[in-house]
Amino acid sequence: MNNNQLEGTTTVGITCKDGIVFATEKRATMGNLIAHKVAQKIFKIDDHIGSTIAGSVAHAQTLMKYITAEANLYRLRNGEEIGIEAIATLTSNILRSSPLYVQTLLGGVDNKGPSLYSLDPAGGVIKDMMISTGSGSPVCYGVLEDRYNEDIYVEEGINLAIRAIKSAMERDAFSGNGIALATITKDEGFKFFSEEEVEKKIKDI
């Protein structure tokens, strides 16, 4: 993640039969400097929605606060959770009204099932089954294109996401310092994995 350009990070989002998997590495850079080794790039938006960020740290944090607040307000006003397509549209509107230098993956599970969206800084929205952003994304896509299929379940998606991020960390100088992992399912909602849990899964692959 880079304060000046969008590509200096690596994130992955995967749509599975039973949920969504998000994975990122943890390095934050400023040009050639590794500014932080524990940067947060996965965010819980609501119990059923998560997001990843790549780009300006300040802009990313601002956007996450906006959409988390909007999701909470929707629940309070309507007595139900906001749909994934609706929160993606809302996020797009925020970006169009005031462009923020951040690329976002937004996904979750609602009554229509799991869904995943990519949003660019100008508010463009694309729905896809598996998406990677940032400077390590070409390496990630090599792994994802080879191994992904739409019939995988979250447990398989976790292994695939870890493989993709791990490969990017081997080749991309802006990516490193460990892997962050989160899943969203109907039964468990948003789950963020501890460092120990991630390390165990890496060893089991």
Contact 42/182 with Cβ under 8 angstroms? yes
Domain that holds residue 101: 10-204
Q: Which residues are catalytic?
A: 9
Q: What is the pLDDT at residue 33?
A: 61
Residues 121-147 pLDDT 10s: 999 999 999 999 988 899 999 999 999
Confidence check: pLDDT of 169 > 70: yes
Q: Note whether residue 5 is domain-resident.
A: no
Residue 149 maps to a domain: yes
Residue 115 lies in a domain: yes
Give a yes or no: residue 3 inside a domain. Answer: no
Q: What is the pLDDT of residues 42-89, one digit of tens each?
A: 999 999 999 999 888 889 889 999 999 999 999 999 999 999 999 999
In a domain, 36, yes or no: yes
φ, ψ of residue 34 to 5 degrees: the values are: -80, 100
Number of domains in the chain: 1
80 belongs to a structural domain: yes
- Domain assignment present for residue 37? The answer is yes
C-alpha count within 13 angstroms, C-beta hemisphere, residue 151: 0
CATH code at position 170 = 3.60.20.10
Q: Which residues contact 105 (CB under 8 A, 6 or more apart)?
A: 11, 13, 22, 51, 52, 116, 117, 118, 119, 131, 133
In total, the chain counts a number of residues equal to 205
